[in-house]
Structure formats: structure tokens, C-alpha cells
């Protein structure tokens, strides 16, 4: 994980208390440990959460904001990828409870605003529930953002068919920050069935759409 001066990870309890007093927001990065095709590591989403929030901490100075970055929550809701070895998932109920208890813990020590920066699509609905419960049951103000919320059109324009899971956009990210983890020799065009866009409340299993684990092309 890239280190910043705002990381709770390396603080003593006294330093943490001072940081909480000064912080405008505590930041919780969330990722996943799940398959990303034969060419990317299972840590892809967690790596993205680590690096994006490190850049967020650096950028906060420009806006005169103080942030306290919590350790990244590496595990997510990835049941739909469990047919692929290496995927580790929490149930929806467990995930909601873990995030809720993290929020309750920091709230008890004085954090009043929590920013959740999510980098895995499967976490979105559980995080919305957790954020709602924290807002209801604590004095926390919870802000929840998914990493594509402010750049989706730009990403779609830049990557086109490479926009999907384990496609060119995710491959480019890992190549930028951890090129040693990309199996370039295994990048190839993927043929995946089109995923349904309507909410039908059927269990979604990634292997039903792609036998290699990628839903879009990664050849760049």
C-alpha cells in the first residue's frame, strides 16, 4: 500500500487521537480480492483503492482539507466470482456488518464525517446499506463514492470495449502502478456474452458470461 502521512496504519493511539481531532474526513478505501482474468492479480480492486485514496490525500492539501486514511478493507462482496480460484468473498450480511462496525468504531473516537471510496462494483449495494445504517444509528455523516462516479463517460470514451471487468482500463491501472503483477503474455481479446442490464434479481455468476474471467478486451 502506498504510504501517506495521513495513514492510521502507522500511528500510535495518541497520534491517532490528534489526527482525528484535526481531520475533516476519515477515508475508508474498499476493494476486493477476486479474479481479474488470467492476466491481472486478484488484488486489482484493492490496489486501485490504495492508490486512488493516496492521491486523494495528496490532493486534499490544495483544498485545505485534512484527511485520516483508514487501512483499506481488502475483502468485498464477490460471490459472483467464486467459480474462479483465488476469489475471497464476504456474504452481503457480513460485509454490511463489518463496514458498519468500522464506522461505529471511528465515530466513538470522534470522527464525524466518513468518506467511503469504493473500487469494486459488487460492494456498491452493501455499502449503500451500511452507509444508511451508520447515518441512522450514529452521529456520522457518511459520504459514499464509487471510483467511476465522476469519470465514467471519459473512461468509456477512452477504452470503448475495453471498459469492462479486467479490460483495458483495469489493465492500464495495474500497469501504471504495479507492472510487475501484469501477465502481459496472457492479454488477449475476450469473447463474453452480453451481461443483462435490467434488475431481475437472479443470482449473477461471472462464469456464466466468461470462461476466462474478463468481460471485455485487454490487448493494449
- Which domains, ranges and CATH numbers included, belong to the chain? 8-208 (3.40.50.10310)
First to last CA, the chain: 26
Whole-angstrom distance, CA of residue 88 vs CA of residue 186: 22
Q: What local confidence, expressed as pLDDT, does residue 152 receive?
A: 79
Owner of C-alpha cell 502506498: 2
Instruction: With H, G, I as helix, E, B as strand and everything else as coil, classify residue 50.
Output: helix
**What are the average pLDDT values for consecutive 10-residue runs of the chain, which has 220 residues?**
93 98 98 97 98 97 97 98 97 98 98 98 96 95 93 82 80 95 87 58 55 62
Q: What local confidence, expressed as pLDDT, does residue 29 receive?
A: 99
Q: What local confidence, expressed as pLDDT, does residue 18 receive?
A: 98
β-bridge pairing 67-69 and 141-146: unpaired
Whole-angstrom distance, CA of residue 74 vs CA of residue 68: 18
Instruction: With H, G, I as helix, E, B as strand and everything else as coil, classify residue 159.
Output: helix
Whether 217 contacts 167, CB under 8 Å: yes
Annotate 130-160 with b (16+ C-beta within 10 A) or e (fewer).
Answer: bbebbeeebebebebebbbeeeeeeeeeebe
Whether 2 contacts 9, CB under 8 Å: no
* Cβ neighbour number for residue 181 with a 10 Å cutoff: 15
Q: What local confidence, expressed as pLDDT, does residue 200 receive?
A: 47
Q: What local confidence, expressed as pLDDT, does residue 201 receive?
A: 44
Q: Is the dihedral of CA 199, 200, 203, 205 positive or negative?
A: negative
Amino acid at each position: 500500500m502506498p504510504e501517506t502521512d495521513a495513514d492510521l496504519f502507522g500511528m500510535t493511539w495518541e497520534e491517532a487521537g490528534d489526527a482525528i481531532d484535526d481531520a475533516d474526513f476519515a477515508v475508508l478505501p474498499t476493494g476486493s480480492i477476486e479474479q481479474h482474468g488470467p492476466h491481472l492479480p486478484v488484488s486489482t480492486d484493492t490496489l486501485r483503492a490504495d492508490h486512488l485514496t493516496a492521491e486523494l490525500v495528496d490532493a486534499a492539501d490544495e483544498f485545505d482539507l485534512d484527511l485520516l486514511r483508514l487501512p483499506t478493507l481488502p475483502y468485498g462482496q464477490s460471490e459472483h466470482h467464486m467459480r474462479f480460484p483465488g476469489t475471497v468473498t464476504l456474504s452481503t450480511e457480513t460485509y454490511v456488518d463489518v463496514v458498519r462496525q468500522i464506522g461505529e468504531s471511528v465515530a466513538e473516537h470522534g470522527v464525524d464525517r466518513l468518506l467511503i471510496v469504493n473500487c469494486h462494483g459488487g460492494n456498491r449495494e452493501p455499502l449503500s446499506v451500511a452507509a444508511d445504517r451508520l447515518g441512522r444509528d450514529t452521529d456520522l455523516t457518511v459520504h459514499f463514492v464509487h471510483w467511476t462516479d465522476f469519470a465514467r463517460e471519459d473512461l468509456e470514451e477512452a477504452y470503448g470495449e475495453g471498459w469492462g471487468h479486467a479490460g483495458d482500463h483495469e489493465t492500464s491501472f495495474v500497469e501504471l502502478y504495479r507492472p510487475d503483477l501484469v501477465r502481459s503474455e496472457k492479454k488477449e481479446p475476450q469473447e463474453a456474452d452480453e451481461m443483462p442490464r435490467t434488475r431481475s434479481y437472479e443470482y449473477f455468476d461471472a462464469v456464466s458470461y466468461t470462461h476466462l474471467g474478463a468481460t471485455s478486451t485487454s490487448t493494449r
